Each structure stands twice: as C-alpha cells, then as structure tokens.
Structure 1
Amino acid sequence: MIKLGKLRVENFKSFEDSFTVDFNGNDLLILDGPNGFGKTTLFDAIELCFTRRIGRILSTDRKQKNSHLLKNKADKETRIFLELIEENNTKVVVYVSIPPNTSKDDNKAVNCSVSQILLKEWPTNFTENVQFSFFEGQSLNEIVGNDALENTFDLFNYIQQEETCHFLKISESDRHKKINYLFGTTKQNAEKEQLQNIKNKLSRKLAQIHENIEKLSTYKKAFELDFDKEFGQPSDRKDIVPTGLISKVITFEPKNSEQIGVYKNSLHDVLWISKNIDEFHALEFNNLLNYLCENRIQELKDLILVGNKSSFSNILKIEKHVSWLNKLVKKINEYEAFNKIAPESPKNLTTDVLSQFISYFPSLVSNYALKIEDYFKLQKELGSYQQILNKISQSREALQQQYQIHINNDVNKADVSCPFCGDVKLTDNQLWIEYASQTKVFEGLKSDSLTKLEDISVYLVDEFISKCINKSLSFINKYQQYVGLLAPLSSKLITEDRWEKMQKIKRWLMEHNVSFESSILANNAKINEDELRIKLSELQSNIRRNAKAVSTEKSVDELKKALQFYGLSVTESLIKTFEDSTIISNEDIKQDLDYIALTELHSNSSKHRDIILKLSNLDKQKKVILNKESLVKSLFNKYKKQIKDYEKIVAKQVAIPFYIYSSKVLQTRPDGNGVFLQSAENNRENGYLRFVSNLNDDHDAWNTMSSGQLSGLVISFMLAMNKVYPTKLSTLLIDDPVQTMDEINLASFVQLLRNEFPSSQVVISTHERKSANYFAYKYQKNSKVELINMKSRRLS
C-alpha cells in the first residue's frame, strides 16, 4: 500500500519560506486551527502533485494577470516535493515546480499548471543548483494503480472543503463516464465506439450512394428525352459520311464533348459565311477600316504631312532644306549668344570677352589689330594695384548706373542715401556731384597705362565690338523669318520605309474610294502638334464614315478563325481550300455538319451507356453496403447489450456498500435508510449514475437532499468506491468535513473510518478544536494519531 510521506512547499501561495509536514507513520493526521493558516493550501499542494492542477480553480475571464495565482513571490521559483511511502520505504518523490518571473499569459487562471518530475529519493539538499536523481520506468498512474488518476483523484482520495459535492453537480451521464473504466469494460467500450464509427461511415456512404443514384436517374431521363427529340428514333437515322473535301473533318476523332462543340460551331460559322458572302466581305471591310484607324496612326500622320508628294525624291529635297535651316538656326543662336555677352560699357570689357569676339569675327579683326594688340599688352603690364583700382572703377560705374535707375523709379523718395558710404543726401543732384568729385580722386590714382587701357577699351567697344554686334543683328533680322519653317519641314522628313507604308495606305484608300484628300497639307503649309492631332482625328472620322451597313452581330475575327481552323479561304464569292483551291459548296458544308452531328450522336450514345453502367455499379455498391451496415448494427447492439448487462452487475457491487455506508453516515434521515444507486436498465438508455432516496424515487439526490446530507452522500460514495475498487494509494484526504455535517453524522463517520478502513492513512483538516479532539480521541486507542495546529506551527 502506498501512503504519503513528507511534504515540502516553497514559495507556494501563503508560504513564502519552505514548510515541511511529515505524514509518515500516522494513521490519522489532523490539521486544525483557524481559517487562513494554510490547511487547504497543503491539500492544494498534494492535489497539484497528483493531478498537476487544482480542481477548484475556475477561469472567470481570459485577461492577462500581473501575478501568478499559486506563487508568493513572482521572482522566485515555486517548488513542491511529495514523498510516497510503501512499506516504510520511499517509493517515489513527486516534484512539481513553477519557474520564476512567469509571463502575464502564464499567470491566467486557465493556464495555472505545473511541470511534474518523479525523483528516486527524498533530496538531502534543496538548493536551486542541486542535481536530482530521476525516477524512470513507470508513470505516477502506474505506481498508484489508477489509470485515470487526474480525473478520479477527487473521487477516490480527496474531498475538498468547497467542492464536497463536486461529483454530484455533474450530470448523471458524466458521472458514469468518470468511473466507467472501473467496470473493466474499457477495451469493449472502445471496440463498441469503433463499431459505432464504422456504422456511421457506412450510413453516410449509403446516403451518398442514394443521392448519386437519384441524380443519375434524373439525368438519364432528361438525356433520353433530348436525344430522341434531336435525332429521332433509331430507325429514322441513316449512314452519313464526310464529303472528303475538308481534311480536318475526314480525320476527326472526338475525344470529348468540348472538342465536338468546337468542330460543330466552327463549321456552322463557315456555313454562315457561305450563305452570306457579301455581308462577310462588309464585315471584313469594316474591320479593316477600324484596324486602319487604330493601328496605323503613324502612316495616317505621314499621309497628312506628305501625302501630296508624288515621289520620295521630293522628300529628299525637303531633307536639303532642313539641313540648310538647321545650320541657319545654329548661326542665329550663336549670334544671339554674342549679343548677350557684349559689354554694356567700355569698363566692363574683359580679355575673355574680347577674345571670343576676335575668334568669331576674324574678318573684322584686321582693321583693329594694333589696338587689340595694345589692349592685351597693357593688360599684362598692369600691376595688381592698378588692376584692383580698375575693378573698383568698373564696379562704381555699374553701381552708379543701377542706383540711378532705382532713384528714378522711386516716386516717394525724400532723402537719398549714398550707395557707397551710406551718408544721407538731400537730393540726388547733391549725391552725384559728390560722386563726380570722388571719381576725380580715383582718376588721379590711375597710372598712365591704366588710363591708356581705358581709352583703348572705349575705342574697341565703340568700333570693333559695335561692328560685330551690328553684323550679327543684320544677319538675324535677315534670316529670322526662316526659322519657323524648320519644325514643319522636319515633320515631313520621313524615311523611305515610312514612305512606302504611307503609299500602301494611300493606294488602299483610293482603291476603295475612301476620301482623304481634304486632310492632306498643302506644300508650304505649317502645322504644329495640336493641329496635327486635330487633322488626324478628322481623317479617322472620315475613314470610319465609309463603313458598310451589316445586319449581323457576328465577329469577323471569330469567322476568320473558323475558316483558318478548317484550312479555308474566301475568294470573291467562293469558299476554297488552302491546299488545292477546291471549291466548297453549301451542300458540302451541310453534309460535313451532319457527319459531325452523327459523331456527336455516337459519343452521346456512349455517354448513355456510361450512365446505365454507373447506375448498375451504384446498385451493386448499395447492396454490399446494406449487408455490411446490417452486420455492423447487429455487432454494435450485441456489444452494447453485453456491456450494459455487465455494468449493471458491477454497479450493484458498489450499490451495496454505498447503501450501508450512507445509512450510517446519514443517521439523521427520517426513515433511517441509506441512499440507493441506480444505473441504466435497458439498452436504449445511455449509461448514467443516479442517487435516489428510495427505490420508487426517480429524482436525483442533488434535487432532494440538504447540503449536509449531500456531503455525507459524497463521503459515503468515496468510501464505497475505495472498498470495492481499492487502488495502491490508500490515503484519504478530507478537507474540513465538519463545515457541512452535524455532530451526529460526524460520530458515525469517524466510527466508519476507524472500523472499515483501519489500514488507510487519513488526513483531515478542521477549524474547530473540539472536532479535532474528537477525531483524535476516537482513533488514539489502536492507531497512531498526530494533531498539527497550523496557527501555532506558522507563528512559531
């Protein structure tokens, strides 16, 4: 028999430090003391070791929590050690733990679980870094002899303070499911469920076959009606062969209905063309007009620009004019650039500007060669001082000119500030008098070379540069009028390839009497991009107005596709083959259409046979599945009956001790009898467990008994289960039973425990000292009893 040994908790709920209790050697251990000193916490620790959860914890919401429900300090590891003893030796040590600093998600009540490890022996050192010796080979369920330990621990070994009636709260069928493994029918129930699944699958398969048969039968009837309507009775049909004129019809071997549809629809289009040649040509013509307007934009633009030219040699002449104009425009641009760099006054003349004019106007240089030579010579002779003085003089003159313009434009002027020194003058005349006076001072500072250089600069600007500017202006005024011809002429400058494409469009328009002459530009006409777009739009509209009226909505592309599909072409009013130009008549096309229709008939006949074959196969499948379903149903019902009969026998084994124990514990009942246990009596009912007051009552005890009686009932059922189906774990944990039982029940209960379960280890908690003393008094005669006051133990 396995009993509890030592229990050690660390950082668990209200226990911050380690706390150890030794259950070993005691037949009865009583935990007493006021509420709040950890009695139920120790029971929670034991339950956690066996089931890895606390059954009474409920998840009231899905929100994340800042603290863990089972930890005292969040940053410390929580550890619980529970020793299991067999014949005064350690059988195994259950070790559960919760790591430090758990996440907010782990702190949810729904996630309150622990990791469980089995150890070989009780640790001698509980430091965090110590290495434990692990137990291997058996699970905890195998050790205690309870395969459903997690689900039945609160039924066999533990009755909780708040959840005394937990087993009664669940439904009657759920009670049966919770303990049905005790009946020894686990394997048979699994086989029964397997038969149930097979039976359900066969039923679904049978329903699917019924549905498929119904669909195919409906389709078969509709198909037969359409078939006879289109082709008549078999006696009305005759042998039809292809004409042999269209090779694709001769070699036609249909693979599916879609392929037949393509052949048939394409040949119907060919027949329409044969019957409506003129309208087909009209469709072709309209399609060409539309194609021309949408896909030959460049050719139409070229027609507008150079459509009046008789040959490509005229385009080559335009090329010569364009070349001359390009040179002319380049020359004008160069002259305009020189006009912009010409100095506004002699003082602004520089060697760089003069050099550019000399380079561009060499024909004028010879008359001023000496002066130009002196200018460059004097520029080299000037020292840095004179050069600075010269630049200051140039800057003063430029500033004076700009400031004069500013004063003239200022209508509200009063006082005038000097732009050089900032002094305020009464009038602008006074300002310029002083400016002239200061200029004389600067002039006196100049050297002879600088003075001579200024004189030469005046001469060169007034004579040489002035003549250069006059020459450029004369050229610009003479040829500026031709610049506007460059863009229009350049647009007419097309390649020979573009000329040929334009001529092809032009000839086609003329052949089909499409008017376009009004859109062509005259020889010397100018046109910009916007005007060209307008001209193009007018030409496109004019071309589209020549479209021919048609009465069909057929697509010319689809009709041409049909001709190409069969290798045919339309020449004037005849349809011919590509290969040998054989003429195809309406009768030929109709005969080939009849042949394709006959081919479709044969294909549909095959489809009809396929439908009949599928229906036959479905009927065979239906018979096979019906036989199998009947066999599985028979097996399932036999399994169900045998399991029910056996479970009734086993339930009676529990019912007798349960009746006896409940009659002793519930001595305050008026009739003095125990409680009856009922289970399913016939095969139609699902398994259930019901507690009733008497044999004629069919109401469950949960609805007829008081809370004290229900507590006694659950305790009685727990004792009965341990009597009939004992496990290796012979420990009974009862958390404060006297809270819901009166003293008469308690006396009977203690007597029942002492006499019926003398070898079991009983751990009870109570908050009443007299109840604790009563338990101890009743047990101490022949048993070892230990009473632990949790208040004194925690405070010491």
Structure 2
Amino acid sequence: MSNKLYINRLYIENFKTIDKAVISFEDQDITVLDGPNGFGKTTIFDSIELVLTGQIKRIQNFKVAVTARGYRDYLFAKNQNKPVVVKIELKSIGEDSSKKRVFARRIDPTKLRSTGKKPFEFNYELHELNTIDDEMTVETVTNEQELEKFFKVNDFIDRYSLYHYVEQEDSSHLFKKNEKERIEVISKLFNIQKENEQKEKLDTTRRVLRRKLRDINKDIEKYKGFVTEKDSDADRTFTQVEYIKLLPATSKKPWDSEKLNNLDKVKKDTYISELNQIIKFKKYFEDYIKQKKNNNISQVIANKGRLSALIVLGFYNEEFETFKKEYETNNNLKRYLKVLEERSILTSYINWDIIFETLKLKTDKQLLIDRIDHIKSLNKTTNNLSNTVRQLLEARESLKNQFNNLISSKSGSSNDQNCPYCGQDWKSFKELEEQMEQKTIEIQQNLDQNSNKVVEEINNLYSAIIKDIINQLDSYLSDDSRIKDDFFLQLQEYKNLGIDVNKAKLFLDNIGIISEEYYNKEKKIVSDLEERTNSFVSDLESRMQNTEEFTRDNFKLLQEIFINTFNSDFKLVEKIRVEDIELKKLYIENAFYDQSNWFFKELQKLTIQRKKLDSICINLDGIIEIYTKKINQYRGTMINDLEIPFFIYSGKIIQNHQRGIGVFIKQETNNRDEEPEVKAINFVPPEETDHDIVHSFSSGQLSATVLSFTLALNKVYNQSGLNTILIDDPAQTMDEINMASLVELLRNDFYDKQIILSTHEDKISLYMRYKFSKFGLRAANINVKQELYEY
C-alpha cells in the first residue's frame, strides 16, 4: 500500500464513563494522553481497539465468570437505556492524503438479553460511514472482511495486538505462552496462514485415511480367519445336510445352533474337535462309568480314618446322642459320689435331681435338701478353729470308710491291723478301731458347741440317708451294663470326623459290599480296629474293575463332557447316536465353507482398498514433509530477520541488566538440512543459558522487552497500512532511564509513525513532547480529565 493510514479522529458516546467526546489526533507525530490515573486514558485505547478489532483483548482473554449466569446491566454502557457508539476516522497520508475512511461500532443494551451482557461478549455491529458525523443505519452495516480488505491483511485482530498496541496490563501475554504456542502466534505474522491451513487439511486427510486404513487392516485380519485355503478346497464337493438339534433346548452349546454366524476357522476347528471328543466319549462311556467307580473307591480307600469311623459308628450312629447323655450323667454321678464319700456336702455342689431321678430313690428329696441347708446354716456360726477340726474329722471319717472298703474288697474280713493314717502295726484290728475312735474323741474336744452340733447332724444324716445313697450310687456305677468311658470316647472321636453313615452304606451297597458285616455291635471299645479296617480296604480293592488306558489318562476330559454336555444324564448319552454327531460335523463344515466364500470376496475388495490407501498415504507423507520443512524453514528465515532489530531495541530500552545487554531469540531447530527447521523459540539473555527471560526478568524488564518486540515486529512486518503505534502508560513499570531510552528510540527509529502514548506523570509528558519537538516532529498532548470530564 503506497498510502499510510493514520488515526485522525475518535468519536466516543456512552462508552464506560464517557457521555460523548470527539478526540482529534490530526497532524501530530506523537500524541501524549496525560492526566491522573482513572480518568480515561486506557478507555481511549479500549475504544480504538474495540472499533478496529471488535473486542477488547484483555477482557476477552480473562473470563472471571465461567457460569452461564446473566447480568442485569451492560458493563460498557454508562447509560443503560442508550446505545454504545464508537467511531474512528482513518486518514491516508501519501498520494491521496485527502481520502478518509470511517468505521464505527454500535450496540444497544436495551436489546440484549441478560446472557448477552457478559463483559466478554462483544456483539457490536460494524458500520462504514462517509463522515464521522453520519448516523449508523441498516444500509451502513458492513462486515469484518471489509475492514481487513481495507487494511489489505488477514488476521488483523492478532496483528493489532502484536505490533500496533502495547497494553498497560499483562502486556507480556506472548512471552507467557509456551515455546511451541509462540511459534503458532508468530506464524500469523509471517503471512503463511494459507500454507498452514493447507498443511492442516493434509494432516486431517492423512489422519482420516490412516484411521480408515487401520480399520481395513483389522477387517482383513479378522476375515482371514473366515477364509479357508483356496487351493486345497477348490475341488471340494458339498453334500446338503439337514439341521438337527442334538442336545435339549436348555443347552447353550454354540455348535448346536442352527445359525452359526461369524464362523471362522478357529471356531470351526474348535467345534469339530469338541464333537470328536463326544464321539470318543460315546465309545468309552461304559469304561468311563467303571473308572468313575474305581476313582470313588480309591478316594474311600485313601481315607482309612473314615472307614474306621464307619466300623465304630455304623451300628450305633443313631444311638450316639443317647450314649452321650448317659456318659455325661455317669460322669456327674461319679463326681457326686466322690463328694458324698469325702463328706464335702457343705462345700461342694450336688444336683440331687439327677441322683434321685437316676436311682429312683424313695427318700424324701426335699427333706434331705432342707436338712443339708440347716447344717449349712449351723456351720456359718462356728469359729475358724472348729471348722478346721470338723474338716479334719470329716477327712478322717472319709479315710476310715475308704480303708474299710479296701479291707472288704481284699479279703472279705477285717484282719488288716496297719493304721490307715500312719501305717503303724497294731496287735489286732479291734485294737486299731478302738485307738481310732479314741483319737476321734480327743479331736472332738476342740470343737465348740455349734461345731459339735454340725458334726452330730452330719453323722446322723449319713447314718439315716446318705450312706444308703452312697451304696446305691456305687452299685449303679459298677453295673457292667452301663456305657464304658473308653467305648464312648472312641465313638466320639470318630463321630467328629463327620461321616455320613447312610450315604456310605448306600455307596457300599452299590458296589456289592454289605457294610453291616464290618460294624462293631458290642458296647465296648474296638481294640482290633486296625485289623478290621485293613480287611475293609481289601474288600474295597477287590471291587475295582479293569479299564482302558485311554479312560484312565483322559478321565477328567470324559467327566467334563458327561457333566457339561450331557448334564450327567445317562439317558441322553444313550439317545444321541454317533451318526447324528457325524452329520452335525458335516453341517458345521458346510456352514463354514458357505461363509468362507463370502468372506473371500470381501477380503479381495479390502486388499485392493488397502493397496490404494497405502499409496495415497505414502504420497501424503511426502507432501506433508515438504510442507512442514518449508514452513519451518520460512519461519526460521523470518525470525532471523526479526532477531537483530529486536536485540538492538531491547538493548536500547532495557540498557544494562545483570545478565548482559539485549535479548536474543533462541531457536529450537532440526539441523539435518542446510536451512534450520524451527520447532520452538525461547527469549534468552546474551549468555550461555537455556532459561527463558520469563523466569529471570523483573516485571519492568519484561514490559521493556514487550515494547522492544512490538516495535521490532512493527518495523519488520507491518504491512497492514495502519501506521500507528499505541502504547498505554509505559511509565507504570519502567524507570526514568528506560523511559528516556524509549523516547530516543521512538524519536530516531519511528519518526515516520503516528505514536499515541499515555502517561499519568506530567513531567514524562513534557519530556517526550520536548524531545520530539527538538527533533522537528509535531507533538501534542491531550489532558483526558479536561477533555472528557470538564466542560
């Protein structure tokens, strides 16, 4: 474009805090927007950005509210009942300096729904007017493409923020992108958008074709299993076989279905193999039954303990609980007998109900219990010494009784004259008895009155009742008809093995063994249990039958077929004929070859498709490789063009910092070719490091770097026609030295640009205008507070 475009005038109405204003930048090389913070300097920059790009980037990028909620008011309208209007007049400087173009944007808050009032929703109408004073109508509406056509550049929105406008807030957005994202942003500057889009389409096409190729390869591999060897089956003749169902309807065997879909070679061979196994099962079925009995007998023999249990328990299994109850009763009676004999009735527990019920005693049980309770109450009032003496007397009496029983059992007479207490030899048993009685009288002298009464009552009770009970208990427990301890304990030992006697008897009956012949039928311990058990084992071994080696080796397989295929049904095994199984095999073979023919044709089609797709993908790989290499090489060349101006400008503005002067653009390249192929870029200080300046620079240094990069981009790549650079308050983050350097750079290298710059410091404003004026450039200031708010 031979003509350069400048911003001539700006019209703002009902935008943010501004009612209405017309700001003129006419015939000025630099215009400084000055005045205190908060009075509209950034608002002017926002209005310019809004009308030229249709958005305010910093608000668009930072969405605080992410929900779908709406808003009652529209952020950018001062008066919610009036439209927001922003117009810009662009003037050509050059061959046709009188030519002006006016673009405007308008939005009416009253026509917006609550969700349309979100701060990041910029649904402004774009208009093109003849003059800045014209009204916007339906006829003046235009589109974004018209604006870009006017600037003769694509992606003007991205280019505007990269080399026309440096924001006050978060101006380092480019530097905060990762290395590869930076490449994508900068690529738009290099006018290779069309090539990138073409490469993307090629990449997308290749991905689609590759996906289709993978699907075809999967189908080919799948179909191969459904196709038989063509040569070996070319002369095959088919015999039509009628479908018959071998197994009941409840069976889930897939080979027994009429429709055998997706029957590949693996499935077919599996089905045929299973049917062949069933044929063998039929052949060896009777042998299998014999082997099954042999295995069952072997399992029984392997557990001799259970055979021993059957011998011990077989006859008495039903009576075990009765025996158990009798055994427990006898043990209780033995314990109570000992208490009675030891005369410990006052201190030991006796269940008199069991004694009276077992012996069928005619004595008054309640009278006996009452007398014992009476003696216990007397015993509570005796002193400790008397208790001790009484217990001694009871012990002597118990020992005496036991001694008399011993004498009686040995000889039937009282001839033993040895003392039962000390063993002394007396002249006669009568003399022994007299001496024992005399000693008892001497001991009794130590008893108090109550203790004598207790002893007397116990002696009377024993004489009247308890001695008779002792004799009856002794007689009852000595009866040979009572269950013996060793017999019951043997029963209990084998009962704990948990053998099912009835089930065992049924099994033995089935193999011809009469189990009762081995049962113990006497109520006494089986002393020859080992011999009986071995005899039982020999009988079992004699019942085993000879079977085929195949049956023995494949018993588990035959058993699985019997259970899973025939559901352990003997009748079903007899019903299914081998001839029917052979017909089933033939039916499956026919079904496979019918499907194989169809799959073979499909496989041929897929193979042809795969060959074509392979060829196309190979060609695409080559084309995309060329595109990628050339695009990256072009990026590398363009970055090389940008690198020197950027290094010079960053060095001038930042001056000296702790890591050197200036900033370099470091390229991550692939050096296999003569020209570099750029993959990513870093911004680094002039020293040996891979670390980006984002990690080491201060906010002021980053801001200065952003300014340098923007100015370098503008100098090298600006072909949009817009000859304006806008900088929003650089003094916010830069010190005086950096500001002085910036002014010198703008004055010397960008004297041919329209510069619109803001500052909140009056001395900075005066300094910049003075410097530009001294250089013969036109400089002016606009005090935004006076211009926008003071009338």
Question: What TM-score results when the alignment is normalised by the length of structure 1?
Answer: 0.48
Question: What TM-score results when the alignment is normalised by the length of structure 2?
Answer: 0.48
